[in-house]
Amino acid sequence: MLQRTTTILPRGTRDEELPGFHSPDRLTVGSLNGRLLLRYVPATRLGLYANGSDDQHWLTPTAYDPCSAQSWLALPSPQILRRHVMLIDPFEVLADSRPIAGPRWVRFGGGIEYLLPRGFPKSALALGWEMEVR
């Protein structure tokens, strides 16, 4: 999935110590290898990010079923399954001059995470809406 040369930083790495991608060219050479990023969404937030978001978001390059996402990504409120996911195009995030930081192993989980410290534009939503995960 990720390039073999990708360094995934340790769980304890602070957000401000994560390397940042600031241009689509660097990302192409970087770890994602053209993949989309996934943002798991609880039902209470469906439609909330349909026009993009300026908030900080955590995403993963790995697809999980709702139960596995809870443990692999150590999501808050584990009793709330994330049955929907947004597909985020990292090239659109960078084209909007917003950085992407990471990757890092999820603290208290087993997955990989990337940080969008300044969110994502509407154009980064690959489908324009959330997709149900089963």
pLDDT digits (tens, 9 = 90+) for 8-33: 889 999 998 888 876 666 555 456 77
d(CA 45, CA 28): 31
Mind giving me the DSSP string for 71-110?
HHHT-SSTTS---EEEEE-HHHHHHTT--EEEEEEPTTSS
Q: What is the identity of the amino acid at 20?
A: G
d(CA 46, CA 25): 32
d(CA 88, CA 94): 11
Tell me how far apart the terminal alpha carbons of the chain are, to the nearest angstrom.
21
For residue 41, give the 3-state DSSP assignment: strand
pTM for this model (two decimals): 0.87
76-84: average pLDDT? 89
Asked if residue 89 lies in contact with residue 28, where contact means CB atoms within 8 angstroms, the answer is: no
DSSP assignment, residue 6? Answer: P
pLDDT value at position 23? 62
pLDDT value at position 1? 55
